[in-house]
Structure 1
Amino acid sequence: MNFKALVIWAISTCGALSTQAQSKDSVLFTLDDTPYYSAEFKRIYNKNLDLIKDSSQRDINQYLDLYVLYKLKVAKAYELKLDENPTYISELNTNRNQLAERYLTDEKLTEELVVEAYQRSLKEVNASHILFLTKSFADPADTLKAYNKALNLRRDILAGASFEEMAKKHSEDPSAKENGGALGYFSVFKMVYPFETGAYNTPVGSVSMPIRSSFGYHLIKVHAVRDFRGERSIAHLMLQKAPADALEKNKEVEAQINKIASDLKNGADFEALVKRYSQDTQTAQKGGVLPRFTTAANNAKAFEDAVFALQKPGDISQPVETNTGWHLIKLLAMRPIPSFEEAKVSMENNVKRDSRSRVINKQLLQNIKARYTVVEDHKLKKQLFGLVDDSVYSNAWVAPKTAEKFQKPLIAIQGEQVYTAMDFLTYIQQNQSAYRAVQPLSKALDLMYEKFLNGKLEDYYVANLEREFPEFDYTVKEYREGLLLFDLMEKEIWNKVQTDTLGYTAFYEKNKQHYIQRPQLELAVYDFDDAKAAKRFAKAWKKSPELVSATPTAEGVYDADSPEVIEKKLPLKPGLYTHPENSKQLIVLKSVTPERIKELDEVRAQLIQEYQEDYEKNWVAALKQQKQIKINREALEAIKREMTSE
């Protein structure tokens, strides 16, 4: 938290609330003619009760004094028009937008998706698929065609056809020609959400109904489900294979990896052998350490199986052959599967980044549409569609010049927010490139209009969060007034004090007796093994101090009232003294600096702080004189009775 944010938070603990007058709420006090209500005061008092360290401020009378002063400062900030400062407006908008984010999601749905994701993360699915591609904005006829193809092929597979062979023959996933649609094991967040859901919901050995994703329709066959094998930290030593036809060379590579494995069994250091022999240039000089390893579709099966066969940190595998080479794998650490509480934050972030976010956004939009009344001019919309031609596909369409007929209302939200025909035409011109892939033009226009309407509904919702959610209103108001008070104090107090050289110099002259430097003593302390040695030193020192060569235990300059001086009971006079309670310790008092008044430069930081406090006290006193403050004693007593009874 930066300094400004910290100050604003501290200021807001005396905070501001929604000033919406409620007919049944009593006025607690007025500043001139502006009323402030009991409910506002009670809410902020209860909210901050646990934060109040000073017991006197728990007293309602004392807290009311603070609250009235807070409101006086806010009123002053508005009088000075600090709320019109562009920097203030920008900062307030930034804070409001951050606060609004939690209202742009369905918390219940998000929680359900997080729980679902965690439960899925405990399992891994081994599946294959057959893909029938469709365009993102495909015509219903084309979508139905792909769906029926998938459905007919599923019937053939259920009747006995080989899923693998059907994938090689019919799947539009290019890799299927080689792998027969096999995806290997995968877990949560590894596939797009609809596909993942289809895979997790299909029983082992079964073939799913056609599953629609952003790519098209999938048939998914689930081969197996197993418990998640966790994460592991590993290192490896790799020798690269020669081309497949270089049989003799590959025999040499195999012989070398076996020799290295034998050396490891006989006690050779793994990291040293990695640095000497490994041909993985990315990891060799780091002891072969790889990123955290977990199940993934692109892992070599032999390598993955070898990793998870290792039982404890320090274990090293037998040589493992993959397409790229031979490996020796060392297990460094086993990462336990986190609990739900441990994984929750990470899961929630992944849910919001994942394709699941579309589910959340869709639910939010449905909630917004159910909340507001929308009136549309469908006849005008049809006329606007007729103005758009195929030039949108080359990003060349230009909206008509402003005319009266294009200023007609097209959409009205809640009877108060109106968007015109020109607003929609401008949207088309600015966003036409995003719809190049949508055919025919009528469908592209339908999507543009839907996107335009949905965007305006969301804008209206965000703009009216204060009316919809009282807690949001309270919090934004706290930020608004907190920012204002920071700017007010900076303008009226802090900046003025820092530059008021004459003011704080006069304050110094008036109060210089408060900046006393007590007498200072320059000491050297000597500790000896016994009292006799101390006496010998004292005798030698008295004869010729400059010839004494003993090393002091401690030395320095100390204030006369410091513990180091007081416990030695030293007089304020240079000389050699024996500690009053320790005959083995001698103290040489080298010099005494008399008591004095410190110079201004020596106390500048303390002085400015004290001057600021005095300046602010006078400023507050003047502020209280600028408005008439009237406390409703009856309302105040009612609050006290209510607080006492709770």
Structure 2
Amino acid sequence: MINGFLMKKLLVLSLLFACLTGEAANKADSVVMTVAGKQVLLDEFVFMARKNGEVNLSDRKSLENYVELYKNFKLKVAAAEAEGLDKTKEFTDELEGYRAQLTSSYLSDKEGEDAAVRAEYDRLGEVLELSHILFRLPEKTVSKDTVAVYERAMKAYERIKNGEDIAAVGQELTRQDSTKQTGYEYARCLLPMQTIKAFENQAYAMKPGELSMPVRTTLGFHIIKLHSRKPNPGMRHVAHILIPFQKDSVTRSDSETLALAEEVYQKVQNGADFGELAEENSSDGASARKGGELPWFGVGEMVEPFEKAAFALNTPGELSKPVKTRFGYHIIKLIGKSGIPSFEEKKKSWSRLMAQGERNFEYYKAFDERMKKEYGYVFYPEAYDELVALCNDYFPTDKEFYEKAKDMNKTLIHLVDTDFPQSEFAYYIQRCPFSTKTYAGDFMQEVFDLFVRDIVTTSERKNLITKHPEFTHLMQEYRDGILLFNISNRQVWSKPAAEQPELEKAWLKELNKEYPVTINWKLLKKLKK
């Protein structure tokens, strides 16, 4: 992600740190055993014993039992290595996959990430009803390009503020715009994580009846009118029978369709099985095969008449009278109801969404801020403002932007004991132009935040083992664990269960003869003190 010159600067600093701390660590380590020519150091042995949870190192018998267990474990690993199981592609891929996963767990702030998701989840308790007019901006917009569009948005804002209806104004402007850069939309139900972050933030900050000034997003300028904020009624689980207006090549009138639906409704009322009637009569094939059952749904997920009828049902088993939608007439049966999904239910899917795109800055903010503090971040706003000034005329990915910025060498930030000039950030923009924003200033800000994150993350990766010694032990444990599983499966576990105890015993006896083992009991006995 970052250029070679920057990598070299960070690598020198990281190696210096590693040498100073690594030398001290090696002096402190002692060998507790040697198995098949490989040393097991005290810190690894103690780490694994404590992780086991059932080992009491101060108790002689417990210590002796664990030494025997750990020795046998290492013997089996040695046997796996002798058979080349640590050289296979499957082994390498699995180990590297775990390394990436483990590394990622250190390059994050789980509490901060949960807090970011929680902030979104706290909005889930309310459903917003709103209208908005969008005045689109070009895909790559510099500051001067926004003026005319903003002025059009402000004229519409003033009209609505002075009493005109937002729907009337929006629809009129949409009709008049032959370029199709203006649009009006009424949103019956808006929930968090359903729209652009800036739009959502503005909408959830408003009071019913309030009109916003033009709000800039990646699409353009929006004027938002909030009509209502209502409690989220939760989720519903229903079955339905759909009597369509059209079946095969036959088109029925509204009255004919309603009559057929009322006939089916009466059959259910008279005791006929709802599921069987759904299979026989419903044109919704996917649900008909399941007795009419639909997945759980919340507000805004079904057409409005269907949703209103479903949420009006209160008792499981309760039926709606035939409900008309554009598809036909529905008979709805309530199966179950619940409140909004719990935080734990939403956390996994929302975390995945927030870790990508524009919301990643909220999601990783706690980690970014902690790393900036640890690595001595200093920001020079005047140097940054000079780059912002270029955004008045050029988009940051334009060749002209780079041609002007590449010779700007004022210090932009100080980080990891290093000064980073404006020109280095300009080079980074060309190499890593990753942003969802279409406005030049917003685009540059996102790439700048990524630039800083890239520097601290690179440093943190280099210092990972020295800052977190347990990382090495966890990698060793997982590596040896894969080998143990594979060799044990080959030698014992794939055999008949009745034979396994004797096979295990004979195998261990053979391994103890084949591979030399020395135990440093003098050192181990000190653990009991």
TM-score normalised to structure 1 length: 0.58
SS in 2 for 1:130: strand
Query: Matches of 1:186 and 1:449 in 2, distance apart?
Result: 29
Match in the other structure for 2:194:
190
- Offset at 1:99? 1.0
SS of 1:97 mapped into structure 2: helix
Note the alpha carbon deviations across 1:511-564, whole angstroms, 9 max, x for none. xxxxxxxxxxxxxxxxxxxxxxxxxxxxxxxxxxxxxxxxxxxxxxxxxxxxxx
Task: Check 1:59–1:20 CA distance in 2 against 1; reply closer, same or farther (3 A cut).
Answer: farther
Runs of 5+ consecutive residues of structure 2 not aligned to the other structure: 1-20, 388-394, 399-412
SS in 2 for 1:287: coil
Matched residue, 1:95: 98
Residue number in structure 2 paired with 1:613: 508
- Find the counterpart in structure 2 of residue 277 from structure 1: 281
Query: Partner letter of residue 466 of structure 1?
Result: L
1:489–1:618: structure 2 CA closer, same or farther, 3 Å change rule? Answer: farther
Give the corresponding residue for 1:222.
226
- Are the counterparts in 1 of residues 218 and 439 from structure 2 also a CA contact under 8 Å? no
- Equivalence for 1:518: none
The verdict on how the C-alpha distance between 1:58 and 1:165 changes in structure 2, with shifts beyond 3 A counting, is farther
Deviations for 1:280-307, whole angstroms, at most 9, x for unmatched residues? 34433432222323211x6332221111
Match for residue 455 of structure 2 among 439, 442, 457:
457
Structure 1 counterpart of 2:173, which letter?
H
Counterpart residue number, 1:169: 172
Cα distance, 1:326–1:68 mapped onto 2, change above 3 Å: closer
Tell me if the contact between 1:125 and 1:222 (Cα under 8 Å) persists in the aligned partners: yes
Structure number with bigger Rg: 1
Identity of aligned residues (%): 23
Q: Which one is further off, 195-204 or 70-79? A: 70-79
What is the distance in 2 between the residues matched to 1:447 and 1:228?
35
Residue matched to 1:331: 334
Q: Closer, same or farther in 2 for the Cα pair 1:612/1:234, shift >3 Å?
A: same
Q: Per-residue deviation at 1:164?
A: 1.3
Aligned twin of 2:12: none
Q: State how far apart, in whole Å, the 2-side matches of 1:255 and 1:242 are.
A: 14
Partner of 1:295 in structure 2? Answer: 299
Over 3 Å counting, the alpha-carbon distance change for 1:272 and 1:175 in structure 2 is farther
Q: Residues 360-439 of structure 1 correspond to what in structure 2 (within 5 A)? A: 360-361=363-364, 364-365=367-368, 368=371, 371-372=374-375, 414=416
1:477 aligned partner: 473
Q: Which residue of 2 aligns with 1:118?
A: 121
What is the CA–CA distance in structure 1 between the aligned matches of 2:224 and 2:443, rounded to whole Å?
A: 35
Counterpart Cα distance in 1 of 2:123 and 2:354? 13
Letter of the 2:164 partner, please give it. Answer: A
Q: For 2:253, what is the secondary structure of its paired residue? A: helix
Moved more, 182-191 or 340-349: 340-349
Listed as ranges, the matches of 1:229-378 within 5 Å are 229-241=233-245, 249-296=253-300, 299-340=302-343, 343-345=346-348, 347-349=350-352, 351-352=354-355, 355-361=358-364, 364-365=367-368, 368=371, 371-372=374-375
8 Å contact from structure 1 (residues 351, 357) kept in 2: yes
Alpha-carbon distance in 1 for matches of 2:101, 2:283? 49
Q: Work out the CA distance in 1 between the residues paired with 2:173 and 2:497.
A: 87
Relative to structure 1, the CA distance from residue 489 to residue 206 in structure 2 (aligned partners, 3 Å threshold; closer, same or farther) is: closer
**Conservation of the 8 A alpha-carbon contact between 2:77 and 2:483:** no
| Helix, strand or coil at the partner of 1:289 | coil
Structure number with greater CO (CA < 8 Å, separation at least 6) is 2
Bigger CA drift: 197-206 or 330-339? 330-339
Please list the CA deviations of residues 247-298 of structure 1 after superposition, one character each: whole Å capped at 9, or x if unmatched.
99332223332333333333333333333333334433432222323211x6
**What is residue 410 of structure 2 aligned with on the other side?**
none
Quick one: structure 1 residues 426 and 80, their matched pair in 2 at CA, closer, same or farther if it must change by over 3 Å? Answer: farther
Letter matched to residue 474 of structure 1: E
Q: Give 1:623's match in structure 2, choosing from 517, 521, 526.
A: 517
Deviation (angstroms), 1:327: 1.7
CA contact (8 A) 1:189 1:354 kept: no
User: After superposition, what is the alpha-carbon deviation per residue over 1:439-462, rounded to whole angstroms, capped at 9, x for unaligned?
Assistant: 99xx99979996995685366246
Cα deviation for residue 74 of structure 1 reads 8.6
Report the alpha carbon displacement of residue 308 of structure 1 after superposing the two structures with TM.
Answer: 0.8
Code of the aligned partner of 2:475 = Y
Which whole-Å CA distance do the structure 2 matches of 1:264 and 1:29 have between them? Answer: 78
The letter of the residue matching 1:194 is A
- Name the CA shift for 1:465/1:240 in 2 (closer, same or farther; >3 Å): farther
**Conservation of the 8 A alpha-carbon contact between 1:235 and 1:288:** yes
Per-residue deviation, residues 406-438 of structure 1 (Å, max 9, x unmatched): xxxxx998589x9xx9xx99996x989x89x98
Q: Distance in 2 between matches of 1:58 and 1:148?
A: 83
Q: Which residue of 1 aligns with 2:108?
A: 105
Contact 2:236/2:337, CA 8 A, preserved across alignment = yes
Distance across 2 between alignment mates of 1:355 and 1:602: 54
In the aligned structure 1, how far is the partner of 2:332 from the partner of 2:482? 59
CA distance in 2, matches of 1:276, 1:68: 68
The runs of 5 or more residues in structure 1 that have no matched partner are 1-18, 383-389, 394-410, 499-600, 642-646
Q: TM-score w.r.t. structure 2 length?
A: 0.69
One-letter identity of the residue aligned with 1:623: V
Structure-2 change in CA distance of 1:462 and 1:174 (3 Å): farther
The alpha-carbon distance between structure 1 residues 236 and 76, as it changes in their structure 2 partners (threshold 3 A), is: closer
Question: Partners of 1:427 and 1:211 in 2: how far apart?
Answer: 26
**Residues 1:150 and 2:146 aligned together:** no
What is the aligned-residue RMSD (CA, Å)? 5.5
Per mean C-alpha deviation after superposition, the further-off stretch among 142-151 and 24-33 is 24-33
How far residue 46 of structure 1 moved from its aligned partner, in angstroms, is: 3.6
Tell me by how many angstroms 1:194 deviates. 2.4
Aligned residues: 472
Q: Using a 3 Å threshold, how does the CA distance of structure 1 residues 65 and 330 change in structure 2: closer, same or farther? A: closer
